[in-house]
Structure 1
Amino acid sequence: MLGYLSSRQAGLDDPLRLRRAESTRRVLSLQLNPDRDVDRIHGNGINSIDIDVAEGRYMLSGGADGVIVIYDLENFTGKPQYTCKAVCTVGRSSRYVHKFSVETVQWYPYDTGMFVSSSFDKTMKIWDTETLKPAEVFEFETNVYSHHLSPIAQKHSLIAVGSKDPKIQLCDMKSGSKIHVLQGHRAEVLSVRWSPRYEYILASASADSKVKVWDVRRAAGSVLTLDQHKGDKSKGASEAANTAHNGRVNGLCFTGDGLHLLTTGTDDRMRLWNSATGENTLVNYGKVCNESRKRLQFCVSRGCSPEFVFVPCGSSVAMYALHTGELVTMLRGHYNNVDCCEFHPNYQELYSGGKDCNILAWVPVLRPPQEEEETDSTNKTAAGPTSLNPAFQDAWSSDED
């Protein structure tokens, strides 16, 4: 790390390399923080969490009890030990509360004045954060599994909605109406996700084992249908034509640059795809336990080299190297199955929620600078400033060359 600082000070190196190296070091040292708690409000499992992009300060959670909670993640106590307080709650006493399980919550991407929730009560609600009242309510004929707003859209205000109906609904926040339907799946749509690179590109995952990529400007069907065997010449096309998994596909996540798409399925597999060509990159993550019948929320780190993926795996969160498939570590702390996790890129922290009604904070645990210097002087081949995992020595050394 001192080498990075010296090179940056002398103007010999790109400052982004220092930032990337430090972000990677922090992610590799994630541990359950005994000094940070999150208020326990939910009386049933937590299905979805989201951290606002605008400030990086507020976190949303939605639970199987129909309750929505907003937490303040900032520590203003001046002490290392603190609790992230619930600043407001849409609880069972509210006349506007969802009647059944809240499956997805998401902040409006550009400010914290608005957020969106969807539920098994067949509704999606757009909330005014100030009043905690719905500004708009969209009603559907079946249970809603997932919704998503584009994080980059400038020319549209569409919310994609996946439900028990095989059709994907596109709802316009400006007009308050459902303006378009995407048809192609043959079973319930468990997850939908807009590309962080192209504002009109949408991915969907379904219980029919398929993952489709859409350009919502085109009415002629999907652009791509991902095929798990396309990269393997030994597999016949008729064996499992155009299926992404051999079971229900219940998880979708784009990488931060939008160049790759990750999917998870009930076949206990996770796959990495080229989002432009639909090619299976054939990265082997091994067995990724997945017993969820609904949407599974997982996430990818940002600003690291290499990038990492965090995926719920039973009562733990599994951390994998994105492009090699290596299992880096298992984050254990929940007492029951984990259903969602969210990465905080500002501080390289991770938050996870599960059926034990708890939200846990996983934060970097770094050594004092003096200890780091001593270790660096005695271990010339360490993987960057820490040697938590020898498998990443090559990645670190290539950055330093």
Structure 2
Amino acid sequence: MNTQQLLSRSFGFTDHNVLRRHAASRLIYALQPTTTTFSQRPPSKDNPADHSVAHPSGVNTLAIDKFEGRYLLSGGADSSIGLWDLEEPSSISHHGSPVYLPLSSTTKTSEEHKLGITQLCFYPFDSLAFLSSSYDHTVKIYSSETLQDSASFDLDSVVYNIALSPIADHLLVACATQHPAVRLIDLRSGASTHSLAGHSGAILSCAWSPVRDHILASGATDGSVRFWDIRRSVGELGTLDLEDSVGVMGRPSSTRGSVQNKAHRGPVNGMLWTEDGKHIITCGHDQRIRVWDTDTGANTLANFGPMVRNSHLAPLIPVLAPVCDLPVEKDVVFYPNEHEILVYELFEGNLLRRLKRLEQARKLNEGSSGKGRRNVKDRITALAWRAHDIELYSAHADGSIAAWKPRPTEDALLDEEEEQERDEAESSKKRKRDVLEDIYHDLMGRKITFGGS
């Protein structure tokens, strides 16, 4: 932000929203990894650098409440759940970074989920309750204060994804399951109301419209994305077609019930609406991210390049930065791309940045894995944006949770240089040790003889 912009604002030549968007967008572009640690237990006195991870078997999903933007939920591959207070770190690590311990947590017991958590979401109008889904075929309602479940629904099928409308008062939970029909659960009656049939494969993702409380979208392993009107007895409105860049009949293309139109040439496991509901983003196993006009169903043909990776059935949902913090029509999307986060301009598909974790943070987590840890790869499994702040959080298959916060580029470069210097110093020490060991083994391996006169 320069002096000219401040003067223009003070004289009234520039609207205050323009200045605020400019400042906020700079912070979004300055997101950098931090060494913040989320740990199930505090560091030991004997070894202050030793931390456990957030979930020993891996973190599958994250959710942050949208009221205060203060509480973070995490779901583990071992069915554990953690609740974290993002404003109150429990301690400071030996290198000066905050360490968060869970406010409360659940472990794998016969009363909780028996298999890994697939999705967590806060109740739409009250952060004192949240919902969870699991590979054990169940959807549960929990109290955020006690982490005790108050209701459970058995859908008799693996539940990959659940969605609650951010605006509706009908309290229907859309469930994407292994069964080729979207299941709807009514939280008021506590029963499964009806199913939305049309897909020919397992459903991996679903998402409610943020502006129309009766419109739902779903994506499945058959490569199709379908739109539904839950008020109608035959609810399907149409499907998306990757070959359609114009839009048919001013709505999602194809005739009702058709199965030939594909949004992706492979399973669709990620779906996200823009805040105004005018576009929807889909992600598929064809290594493509597509942006669609929801009024016409047209493929906007945004090209995100060849770097996109997507090969797991688990939900892979991108995150959008709040549009109030960005220039008009300059939406920014964050995509969890295996071991890095790709930052794109949404409508142009231009790659803005590639975010990777600090080597120091990776080593810290690798050195504190603990027993029973199975997933050792640093694959990113989920992203969550913190409301009212410019902060991003990522879940990792190695059991850790990473925080991304704005930092000047100069500071980040200095951190990288320090990491490189430490790595070079360690390499130099290792080479010296190897040389000394070679000399030692060479001397010990020589045969010593004593000659007589």
Instruction: Tell me the residue number matched to 2:54.
Output: 41
- Answer yes or no: is the 8 Å Cα contact 1:188–1:206 preserved in 2: yes
* Structure 1 stretches of 4+ moved >6 Å: 76-80
CA distance in 2, matches of 1:275, 1:215: 14
- Answer yes or no: is the 8 Å Cα contact 1:73–1:85 preserved in 2: no
Paired amino acid for 1:70: L
SS in 2 for 1:223: strand
The match for 2:129 among 90, 110, 114 is: 114
Structure with bigger gyration radius: 2
| C-alpha deviation, 1:96, in angstroms | 2.8
Rate the CA distance shift 1:141–1:76 in 2: closer, same or farther, 3 A: closer
- Answer yes or no: is the 8 Å Cα contact 2:90–2:100 preserved in 1: no
Instruction: Tell me the residue number matched to 1:85.
Output: 101
TM-score normalized with structure 2 length: 0.76
Instruction: Tell me the residue number matched to 1:13.
Output: 14
Instruction: Tell me the residue number matched to 1:388.
Output: none
| C-alpha deviation, 1:140, in angstroms | 0.8
CA distance in 2, matches of 1:365, 1:109: 32
Higher alpha-carbon deviation: 42-51 or 11-20: 11-20
The match for 2:316 among 296, 314, 324 is: 296
Higher relative strand content = 1
The match for 1:212 among 202, 220, 226 is: 226
Q: What are the ranges of 5 or more consecutive residues in structure 1 without an aligned counterpart?
A: 369-401
CA distance in 2, matches of 1:124, 1:131: 18
CA distance in 2, matches of 1:87, 1:5: 42
User: Where do 1:2-401 residues align within 5 Å?
Assistant: 2-34=3-35, 36-39=36-39, 40-75=53-88, 81-92=97-108, 94-154=109-169, 156-231=170-245, 241-287=260-306, 288-302=308-322, 303=324, 304-305=326-327, 306-333=330-357, 335-366=377-408
User: How many pairs align?
Assistant: 360
Paired amino acid for 1:56: G
CA distance in 2, matches of 1:150, 1:221: 17
Q: What are the ranges of 5 or more consecutive residues in structure 2 without an aligned counterpart?
A: 40-52, 248-253, 363-376, 411-453
| C-alpha deviation, 1:71, in angstroms | 0.9
CA distance in 1, matches of 2:277, 2:246: 24
SS in 2 for 1:121: coil
SS in 2 for 1:18: helix
- Answer yes or no: is the 8 Å Cα contact 2:339–2:356 preserved in 1: yes
TM-score normalized with structure 1 length: 0.85
| C-alpha deviation, 1:367, in angstroms | 7.3
| C-alpha deviation, 1:7, in angstroms | 3.2
Rate the CA distance shift 1:126–1:18 in 2: closer, same or farther, 3 A: same
Q: Deviations over 1:184-223 (max 9, x none)?
A: 1111110111111211111111001001111211222321
- Answer yes or no: is the 8 Å Cα contact 1:231–1:282 preserved in 2: yes
CA distance in 1, matches of 2:230, 2:313: 27
Paired amino acid for 2:356: R
What is the aligned-residue identity percentage?
36
CA distance in 1, matches of 2:314, 2:90: 38
- Answer yes or no: is the 8 Å Cα contact 1:301–1:309 preserved in 2: yes
Paired amino acid for 2:334: F
Instruction: Tell me the residue number matched to 1:389.
Output: none
CA distance in 1, matches of 2:116, 2:148: 18
| C-alpha deviation, 1:45, in angstroms | 2.0
SS in 2 for 1:190: strand
SS in 2 for 1:22: helix
SS in 2 for 1:20: helix
SS in 2 for 1:86: coil
Paired amino acid for 2:104: C
| C-alpha deviation, 1:356, in angstroms | 1.2
SS in 1 for 2:378: coil
